[in-house]
Amino acid sequence: MTLLARAQTLHFEQPLPLQSGASIRAYDLAYETYGTLNADRSNAVLVCHALNASHHVAGTYEGQDRSEGWWDNMIGPGKPVDTDRFFVIGINNLGSCFGSTGPMHVNPDTGRVYGADFPVVTVEDWVNAQARLLDALGIERLAAVLGGSLGGMQALSWTLQYPHRVPHAAVIASAPNLNAENIAFNEVARRAIVTDPDFHGGHFYAHDVVPKRGLRIARMIGHITYLSDDVMNEKFGRELRGAVTAAGATLAREAYQYTTQDVEFQIESYLRYQGDKFSEYFDANTYLLITRALDYFDPARQHGGSLAKALAQAAAKFLLVSFTTDWRFSPARSREIVKALLDNGRRVSYAEIDAPHGHDAFLLDDPRYHAVVRAWFDRIAQELSK
Amino acid sequence: MTLLARAQTLHFEQPLPLQSGASIRAYDLAYETYGTLNADRSNAVLVCHALNASHHVAGTYEGQDRSEGWWDNMIGPGKPVDTDRFFVIGINNLGSCFGSTGPMHVNPDTGRVYGADFPVVTVEDWVNAQARLLDALGIERLAAVLGGSLGGMQALSWTLQYPHRVPHAAVIASAPNLNAENIAFNEVARRAIVTDPDFHGGHFYAHDVVPKRGLRIARMIGHITYLSDDVMNEKFGRELRGAVTAAGATLAREAYQYTTQDVEFQIESYLRYQGDKFSEYFDANTYLLITRALDYFDPARQHGGSLAKALAQAAAKFLLVSFTTDWRFSPARSREIVKALLDNGRRVSYAEIDAPHGHDAFLLDDPRYHAVVRAWFDRIAQELSK
């Protein structure tokens, strides 16, 4: 059965105080819901998104083929997160470029587009904004919060900021903070964007240009880190890009062209394509904001570096999932969270999925992975029906 | 005892045919030598360089403090490659920006600076040019060829192109070819350079600008891949960059600044510094050429992908060294070479050094690593003295 998605927007007039000390005076949040909220409003599942995603988590838009939500294989009728049983909420975070208030919108304080003046937002700020959306929807307590990668950080943060509102949290392909290498990759991507002459200090909207060069480089770097070495070798290896005939057929090419600027290898063609596509729709200031939210997240920081102390506030039951070939958020990072939770006597299910796809695995349809998530949500549904 | 280095240049009038089908009509090669060539000209060791290096391998230049060669900890009087016994030759490759003919020089065919028209050069081309330098120096047969990373590829290629001229080859922190991920990182770096508006299609010299933005990004990416995750966490972790007082003292900083464009973490400061420094002296066209030489190297390619068949031509005794945390040229890649050599019944010593420093380890002063290289060269010296 097809799940129809419909984007909605809520306007918030009360200013949102931010971790930085700044605040956002008024803002919109875009969201979608799937399934039906039950009578006692106890079956809501909040899904938090990662870097390049949005509130459009599941289903398709009416009349739009191929408009599946980014986690449509996971969420829907009869799927691991079953919308026949749960009321699932997808939300777009502040600072995004997909519907919620972000850098491309007008700052009500100045009447000018925010651009680079959009305030720095953190995982904690996003969670506070999400909590207000739940308030507006009349949901005091979630059945569960769920997220992968940066979304997993939000799920984890929910259990610390609003422990009484989240009895269950699924933290997938995530980490308790970024390590130096992660920050380094983010920083290179940011430098590529910021030093693009079309960035204009983040106020490129007024110049009617987009720093596409920088966005392309940022996305290419991202793609390398989302894939595993293994899957890259399997998908692309050292294959040369085939020549395309006038009729549009691709011919296998065996001989090097000896070129420094043209595409020689398939992997180059793939990365250039991904970079080009991304630069057409993603906002440069949003990229800076979201990578910084990743960099800043570090709940142990306020507890002398002790993750166990930080997680003492959590009251939820947890599901942690990691993927063996994910070198961006490696299993070791998930195990740090598991250990800190166990140190606090919390209930944790942990699955380390043997998958070749690197960090991207959390978005793919792996039967063992989906079985784990399904079983975990089945138990939640059983608890709800008691 | 201080080893004094002196750069020399040889001019070659005979055109060098290249693998691409093009040729270089006339060219200079910069080189240095250390130690004394013995009477029967049998004690010469050729050192091949990697991406950001040159003929200045060892010693210091007269009157110039801190001008040590890039492998000075390895090569010199009493060092693992002992210049009291060996006549060591450092050579700068064609296309480089450190002395040998490269893109910033005038093309004798056109009277204009080569720029992006400098022909694509391969590892095999470099080895051919190196062989001509040896001819000019009157050295028919080396005692050994030695190189790390891209230099290791050249050492390996020597054993295939001139098997009768290299009885010993040391291939350190290297690989039989680049995998897709390696090519991908090279490609992102190249795109950053080529899409910098100051690149001007590779003819930026005429515009009196340098594509520094692109070079900075390229170098930052490079640095991430040279270091291991572990050593990055140990050196930088999530430390914030300290505030600098008016008096120049650095104060530890504990609070986030909440900024997307300014430096927040130490790792960012380090990468920006490395990128800035590099962009001041490295040539953009050279960067493209050298990364392409890396991409193209693949001796198994002409043998249906069989490295064992490719290496059947080698007659040398080999030393292979890899480093456990090197994810750019991992131990598994060195083991592929070892296995292909053993399949051919060749003599191979292989050391996998447990070092935390990633790919950079091959340039560092690790006692176990240096002991392995020392012992291997001691045996060569003994063979020579028989």
Q: Which residue of A has its CA nearest to B259?
A: A120
Model pLDDT for residues A143-194, shown as the tens digit of each residue: 999 999 999 999 999 999 999 999 999 999 999 999 999 999 999 999 999 9
- Interhelix angle B180-194/A212-226, nearest 10 degrees: 170
Q: For chain B, what is the radius of gyration of the CA atoms?
A: 21
Instruction: Count A/B contacts: CB-CB distance under 8 Å.
Output: 168
CA atoms within 13 A of residue A240's CA, in its CB half-sphere: 18
Top residue of B125, B229, B238, B270 to mutate, by most chain A CBs within 10 Å, is B238
Q: How far apart are CA A208 and CA A215, in angstroms?
A: 16
Q: For residues A340 and A323, give the distance between their C-alpha atoms in angstroms, rounded to a whole number.
A: 19
pLDDT tens string B135-187: 999 999 999 999 999 999 999 999 999 999 999 999 999 999 999 999 999 99
Q: Which residue in B120, B183, B194 is closest to A265 by CB distance?
A: B183
Contact A259 B188 (CB under 8 A): no
Mean pLDDT across chain A: 96
Chosen for mutation from A231, A260, A359 (greatest number of chain B CBs closer than 10 Å) is: A260
Other CB atoms within 10 A of residue A364 CB: 14
State residue B231's pLDDT score: 93
**Which residues make Cβ contacts (< 8 Å) with residue B256, sequence separation at least 6?**
A20, A296, B240, B264
What's the token pair of residue B141? 């047969």
Q: pLDDT for A28-64, tens place per residue?
A: 999 999 999 999 999 999 999 999 999 999 999 999 9
The string of pLDDT tens digits covering residues B329-361 is: 999 999 999 999 999 999 999 999 999 999 999
| Nearest Cβ partner for B267 among A19, A180, A298 | A180
Dihedral angle sign, alpha carbons of residues B211, B216, B222, B226: positive
Give the model's confidence band at A100: pLDDT under 50 very low, under 70 low, under 90 confident, else very high: very high
Those residues whose C-beta lies under 8 Å from the C-beta of residue B249, and which sit 6 or more positions away, are none
Structure tokens at B104: 């910033």
What are the pLDDT digits (tens) for B185-237? 999 999 999 999 999 999 999 999 999 999 999 999 999 999 999 999 999 99
* pLDDT digit string, tens, across residues B50-71: 999 999 999 999 999 899 999 9
Q: Which residues in chain B have their CB less than 8 angstroms from residue A267's CB?
A: 180, 183-184, 187
Residue A76 to residue A120: CA distance in whole angstroms: 33
Is residue B294 within a helix (H) or strand (E), and if so which, with residue range? helix B284-296
Q: How many H helices and E strands in chain B?
A: 10, 16
Neighbours of A19 (CB within 10 A): 17
Q: At what angle do helices A284-296 and A123-136 cross, to 10 degrees?
A: 100
A11 is catalytic: no
Measured on CA atoms in the order A53, A54, A55, A56, is the torsion positive or negative?
A: negative
Please report, to the nearest 10 degrees, the dihedral formed by the alpha carbons of residues A154, A155, A158, A159 taken in order. -140
Residue B2 has a pLDDT of: 79
Q: Which residue type is seen at B122?
A: T
Asked if B233 and A179 come within 8 Å (Cβ–Cβ), the reply is yes
Q: What distance in Å separates the CA atoms of residue A333 and residue B258, rounded to the nearest whole number?
A: 24
For residue A332, which of A303, A307, A295 has the smallest C-alpha distance? A307
The stretch B78-84 carries a mean pLDDT of: 98
- In this model, does residue A249 exceed pLDDT 90? no
Average pLDDT for A329-352: 98
| A367 C-beta neighbours (distance < 10 Å), count | 9
Cα separation, A33 vs B227, in Å, equals 44
CB-based contact B251:B245 (threshold 8 Å): yes
Among B352, B308, B350, smallest CA distance to B330 is for B352
Inter-chain touch B179–A233, beta carbons under 8 Å: yes
CB B55 within 8 A of CB B31: yes
Q: What is the pLDDT of residues A76-94, one digit of tens each?
A: 999 999 999 999 999 999 9
pLDDT for A378 beyond 80: yes
**In the structure encoding, which two tokens stand for residue A169, read together?**
């949290």
User: What share of chain A in percent tops pLDDT 70?
Assistant: 97
| Nearest of A174, A182, A183, A177 to residue A145 by alpha carbon | A174
pLDDT at A225 (0 to 100)? 95
Say what the pLDDT of residue A244 is: 66
Per CB-CB distance under 8 Å, the chain A contacts of B21 are 258
Q: Which position has the token pair 């062209």?
A: A257
pLDDT at A243 over 80: no
Q: Band of the pLDDT at A247, cuts 50, 70, 90?
A: confident
**B contacts of A210 (beta carbons < 8 Å):** none
> To probe the interface with A, which of B122, B195, B256, B260 has the most A CB atoms within 10 Å?
B260
Q: What does the pLDDT average to over A227-254?
A: 83
**pLDDT, mean over chain B:** 96
The answer to whether the CB of B3 falls within 8 A of the CB of B59 is yes
Which chain B positions have a beta carbon within 8 Å of A285's beta carbon? 260
Cβ contact A199:A283 at 8 Å = no
Is the ipTM above a cut-off of 0.85?
A: yes
- Strand, coil or helix: B320: strand
CB contact under 8 A, A217 and B265: no
Using CA atoms of A282, A327, B353, B225 in order, give the dihedral in degrees to the nearest 10: 0
Query: How many Cβ atoms from other residues are within 10 Å of residue B42's Cβ?
Result: 16
Cβ atoms within 10 Å of A230's Cβ, excluding its own: 16
Measured in angstroms, the CA of A128 and the nearest CA of chain B are apart by: 17
Of A180, A216, A285, the CB nearest to B233: A180
pLDDT of residue B308: 98
**Residue B244: pLDDT band with limits 50, 70, 90:** low
Q: What secondary structure letter does DSSP report for B113? A: B
| Average pLDDT, integer, range A252-270 | 92
Inform me whether the pLDDT recorded for B82 exceeds 80.
Answer: yes
CB contact under 8 A, A188 and B224: yes
Beta-bridge partner residues of A348 = A318
Per-residue pLDDT at A159: 98
Query: For residue A2, what pLDDT is reported?
Result: 79
Which residues, in sequence order, are bridge partners of residue B10?
A: B29
Cα distance between residue B3 and residue B370, in whole Å: 19
Interchain proximity B180–A258, CB inside 8 Å: no
Catalytic residue (choose from A49, A359, A360, A366)? A359
Q: Determine the pLDDT at residue A242.
A: 81
Of B229, B238, B295, the CB nearest to A265: B295
- Model confidence at B1: pLDDT above 80: no
pLDDT-derived band at B386, boundaries 50, 70, 90: confident
Alpha-helix runs per DSSP H in chain A: 123-136, 150-161, 180-194, 212-226, 229-235, 266-281, 284-296, 307-311, 331-343, 367-385
Indicate the residue of B122, B190, B260 with minimum beta-carbon distance to A289. B260
DSSP state, residue A124 = H
Q: Which of A56, A151, A116 is nearest to A284 (CA)?
A: A116
Cβ of B181 within 8 Å of Cβ of A296? The answer is no
Query: Is there a contact between A187 and B265 if contact means CB atoms under 8 Å apart?
Result: yes
Rg, C-alpha atoms of chain A: 21
Under 8 Å between Cβ of A224 and A271: yes
Distance CA A85, CA A36 (A): 8
Å between A192 CA and nearest CA of chain B = 7
Q: How many CB atoms neighbour CB B143 within 10 A?
A: 25
What pLDDT does A254 receive? 81
Task: Verify whether residue A49 is a known catalytic residue.
Answer: no
Q: Is residue B252 scored above 80 in pLDDT?
A: no
What residue type is B273 in one-letter code?
Y
Residue A40 falls in the annotated catalytic set:
no
Q: Do A292 and B260 touch (CB under 8 A)?
A: yes
Amino acid in position B338: V
Instruction: Give the pLDDT of residue A116.
Output: 94
Q: Which two tokens stand for residue B108?
A: 């004798």
Query: In this structure, are residues B147 and B170 in contact, taking their beta carbons and an 8 Å threshold?
Result: yes
Q: Which residue of A has its CA nearest to B195?
A: A213
SS3 A355: coil
A317 phi/psi in degrees, rounded to 5: -90, 140
CA dist A56 and A53 (Å) reads 8
Count CB atoms within 10 A of the CB of residue A205.
18
